Each structure stands twice: as C-alpha cells, then as structure tokens.
Copies of this chain bind each other. A is one copy, B any other.
Amino acid sequence: MSEALATRTARLSALQTQMASAGVELTAIAPTDNLRYLLGFSPQADERACLLLLSARGATMLMPDLNAEQAISAIPELELVRWTDDAGPEQALRLALRRLDAEAVRRFAADPEMRADTLMLLQDALPAAAPVNATTVVGPLRQTKDSRELELLQRSSDVGDAAMLAVFETLAPGISESAAADAAARTFSSLGSRPDFTMVGSGPHGAFPHHDSGERLLQEGDAIVIDLCGQLENYFSDITRMAFIGQPSQEYLEVHAIVEAAVQAGIAAAGPGTVCEEVDAATRRVIADAGYGEYFVHRAGHGLGVSMHEPPWIMRGSSVELRPGTVHSVEPGIYLPERFGVRLEEIVHITDNGCERFSSLPRDVHIVA
C-alpha cells in the first residue's frame, strides 16, 4: 500500500470512530481543507455539488461527471457516483445515500465550509435529519498533527520567516504597503510556498486587524503591522511582526512591551492539558492589567494546519484541551483607532511538557532608520 493510500485509509477509519462516538450517522465533506486533509486531494470547488459521503458502511463520492476522470486518477480506490450537467445531482445523491445505507439518518455532519446550496441539496434529500457542524468529528483528528505534518509546518514556517525578512528589507519611507506585501509574496513563491494573506498595515491602517494592503505610502513615524501567511505542500505558515519607520515614540514602545508580555504569558500557559480559554485569558489579563483591555478586540489565537484558521480556537468559552501535536497561534494585539496597532504572533506546537514555537525570528520591533 502506498503511503498516501495508507494515510487516507487511516484517516477515514479514524473519522468513522469519531462519528460513532458522537452519534453522527453520516458525514458530508465538500472540496475544502477538510477533504484535502482526509484524501490529500481536493477536486475543483465550484457550483457543481461534489461531496465525500461517509457512513459506518463506507465512503462514496458524489462527483460531477466532468471532474470524475481526474478524481479517479488521484484516488483510484474511491467509489464515485457521477452526475452530469444534464441530469443534475439529485438522483445521484439519492443513489449514493442508498449505497451507504444512509437514506434515513437522523443526524448528519456537514462540512462547515460547504456551499449553502450544497447543504440545501442534502437537506432536501434528508428532510428528517438535523445537520451538525462536521468540525465535531473532523476537528479532533486534525487537531493532533503527526510527525510528518509537524515537519511540513516547520518548513512552511521557515519560508514565512524568510518572507518577513524580505518585507523588512523593503520597508522605507515612500514605499507603498502593497509594494512591501509583494516582496513577501515573491519570497513565498520563490521558496515553494503559495502566498496567501499578506498584510502590511501602516500607521492608522495597523489599527484594522485585517487591513488590505493598499497604496498608502510609508512615512516617518509609522508603526507597521506585518502579518504573512503562505502555504507549503498544503501546510500554512502565519507570523506577525512589527516595524517602525524612524525612532519609535515612548507610547509605541510601551504598547509593544505590553503585547510582548502578553505573548510570553500565552506561550507560558500553552501546554498539554491546558484548556484553550486559559491561554486566551493569560494574554488578555496582561493587556487588561495594563489598561488596554478594550483595544484587544479579537481572540488570542487559532489552530493552524491545512487551513490558515482551524480549530481549536484560542478564545473565551473554548474548553478544548491542548495536547501534544496541537498547533496554534498566540497573537494578542492592541489597536488604537485612527492611530496605530501592535500585534505579535507566534505559531506554537504543544509538546509533552509545554510548547515550542516554529519561527526563529525575534519579536523586537524592526526599526527602519
């Protein structure tokens, strides 16, 4: 058996075990990161319904006819139920459900990123069934990274570090945000990663946590939030660092030091057995104690793997336990509207007695003299 086939078989079987313990009779996965995780392959995602369907009986795939040959050559062992543009997907879906003995299920798990029209198609075919979020059953598998996944995440992070250094080198007064972001994209591409989110938020733009890099020109006195994500062989990197054009103000340095202390508190809290919300609380406490609580407007982090954002969520109310192999970000921030923002982000993986970060870059503000 090839390694890829062995991985697919093991993951589908582990998913069936999760389903049994969660009382889920059918799981429907669309061409999303979940499918890429389970099968190592994801067909074209468009308006044509395409679903991996899994029950205790086995797996089958509802597949648009025009993409079927490709799926067969990628995953020869998988049973397909094909549908043509002429016939539409309804009948094929019913046939697939029959094969899986899933026509009368009461509870099915739907991929959270599935298109709404595909979910409505499933709901029409299973009018008596209630959908639940498939993260319930797939999340626990994806949360524990194996050694090969950790190795890919390390390589992906190394490329992310290089992209950050490339942005640092580009920063100068008069350079646009998007030109600086392009330097990151070029570095990702040249080192084998696909650039994804590349944010350079300067001055007041840094106060938007998810700013789109634009044509604003960097100028003396700008604090700059740089948040870069790339994807290498399906696995993401994600890193945020700060830069400053000229000599940072006293206020900037104070805010930076508070965010740095919050990162350290989050990393110190993250370890096996810790509950996600405790890591969130550890970062939040530092920022609140310093009087900036209301300016930390987002959760402290997210899981990372084949998705840029995936469970577990490092946030209040999340009682998911961290365990060896969990990978997540620690990324507190302080955003002062119309003035500037500061965010620092590390990706860590949980070890047997704490956690380790992937990046080897310091978190000091990079000063552009």
Q: Which residues of A are at the interface with B, using a C-beta cutoff of 8 A? A: 30, 44, 46-47, 65-67, 69-70, 84-86, 88, 110-120, 131, 133, 207-212, 297-299, 309, 313, 315-317, 337
Contact = CB atoms under 8 A, between A and B. Distances in A.
Contacts of A317: 86, 88
B66 A210 contact: yes
A337 B66 CA distance: 11
Interface of A is mostly: loop
A66 B297 contact: yes
A143 to B, nearest CB: 15
B116 A114 contact: yes
B114 A84 contact: no
A90 to B, nearest CB: 12
6 contacts: A46-B309, A65-B297, A66-B297, A67-B208, A119-B119, A120-B133
Contact of A309 (B47, B69, B212, B316): B47
Contacts of A297: 65-66, 84
Contacts of A299: 85-86
A47 B212 contact: no
B69 A208 contact: yes
Residue among A111, A117, A208 facing the most chain B CB atoms (10 A cut-off): A117
Contacts of A70: 208, 210-212
Contacts of A86: 299, 315-317
Contacts of A84: 297-298
